[in-house]
Every structure is written in C-alpha cells, then in structure tokens.
Chains A and B, each alone.
Chain A
Amino acid sequence: DTEVTQTPKHLVMGMTNKKSLKCEQHMGHRAMYWYKQKAKKPPELMFVYSYEKLSINESVPSRFSPECPNSSLLNLHLHALQPEDSALYLCASSQLTDTQYFGPGTRLTVL
C-alpha cells in the first residue's frame, strides 16, 4: 500500500479563522513533508519531519505551524492566513532519500 491520505479535500477559510490540515500514511516511512503548490508551478517545500522531528523549515511564515504527533500523522495548523496563501497543499512521505509518495492534496481558499 503506497497511499498517503489528506483531509479535507477542500477548505475555505477567512483570514481570522484557525483550521488544520491532516495527513496520514501507514507505510512505515520516517520522513514526512508539506509542500505548497500554486497553479502551473512545481511544489515548493515548506517543512520536513524526519523521525518525528522537524528537520527543515523553508522560512515559512509563522501563520503555518506543522505538527507531527506520531510517525504516521502530520498536521499543518493554519491561522491568520492571507489570500495569497490560497493554493494546493500536498503532503508526502518517504523512507528518507527514497521515493516520495504524495497525497491528493488539500485545495485551500483564503477569503
């Protein structure tokens, strides 16, 4: 099973809302990733967790807050977002340097 699941599929939020994106994998992968993807662009790396510890933060604004409660789960907490944060948010997992498996993404719209 090479499935990464993400919920919700779509999310609309106002600039004062707090929401969370969820990602789950059961492949025993020890690295998990959050990417942001704007239309017609490649995914941009936001965060990397290795062995449940944050190992890379690509200078992402603090209004995005990642959390890795256990080796299978990855959350992205959102607060006070801006309209320009509207994008497809992709989660991925891997065995470190090996293939990254991507979830279907959450389409986020910030009003």
Chain B
Amino acid sequence: AQSVTQPDIHITVSEGASLELRCNYSYGATPYLFWYVQSPGQGLQLLLKYFSGDTLVQGIKGFEAEFKRSQSSFNLRKPSVHWSDAAEYFCAVVNNYGQNFVFGPGTRLSVLP
C-alpha cells in the first residue's frame, strides 16, 4: 500500500531564509506526486505536481520540488520565505487505482519576522 511521510511536524524559519520541506513516499511504480498548501480554515491549494519528465518541477509562489527516485523523495523548496507562506503543507501521492490521494501528515510552517 502507498504511504507518504513528512518527517517534520513543525518548522520555523525566519522571513527571507530558505526552506526545504521533506516528503518520502512508498509506491511500487512511478508515482504521481503533489504538494498542497492550506491556510487555516481554508481548502487546499495546489503548489506543484510531478507526473513524469524533468525531475525538478516549478510551482506557484516561487516553490519548486525535486523528485528523487533513488531516495523515494519529493522535497519542496523555496529560496526565500515570505511571512505569507506560513501555513500547513501536505505532500500527496495518487494511489494504485488512481482514484484517491494518499496524504502525508502535513508540516506546519511558521515564519518569524
């Protein structure tokens, strides 16, 4: 069965600092991978996705992620964090049947001024 782990429950960074959020997945085939962001009490917004091809994918709001098959990872990065990036971040993989996502537990990002 597929699974997604996000090792960091909570990360705090200073505004302007770089950010990396970790995501590891367990999947038997080439995965479809996603990163979503959720502000408090809101729905989930897609940041970026990986289906195939170039392993470095660019997303919205200056985020990027790199797919590394050898490490079963899909880490999210941003070179300079803004205070508005404070939110919950979820990594997800589409399951074998392609009908539902398996979400990671989420990483809460706090940004210090």
- Pairing of A with B: yes
**A residues lining the B interface (CB < 8 Å):** 4, 6, 31, 33, 40-43, 45, 48, 50, 55-56, 88, 90, 92, 96-97, 99-105, 107
Please indicate the chain B residues that have their CB under 8 angstroms from the CB of A55 in the complex: 99
* B106/A96 in contact, CB under 8 A: no
Decide: A31 near B99, CB < 8 A? Known: A90-B43, A105-B41, A105-B42.
yes
Give chain A nearest CB distance to B6 CB in angstroms: 9
Neighbour of A43 across the interface among B44, B45, B108, CB < 8 A: B44
* A96/B99 in contact, CB under 8 A: yes
Is the interface on chain B under 10, 10 to 19, 20 to 34, or 35 or more residues? 20 to 34
Neighbour of B43 across the interface among A40, A42, A102, CB < 8 A: A102
Q: How distant is the Cα of A54 from the Cα of B36 in the complex, in angstroms?
A: 25
Give the total number of A-B pairs whose CB atoms are below 8 A apart: 52
Tell me which of B36, B49, B101 has the highest count of chain A C-beta atoms within 10 A of its own C-beta. Answer: B101
Please indicate the chain B residues that have their CB under 8 angstroms from the CB of A102 in the complex: 36, 43-45
Please indicate the chain B residues that have their CB under 8 angstroms from the CB of A50 in the complex: 99
Chain A CB within 8 A of B98 CB: yes
Q: How distant is the Cα of A50 from the Cα of B45 in the complex, in angstroms?
A: 22
Chain A CB within 8 A of B111 CB: no
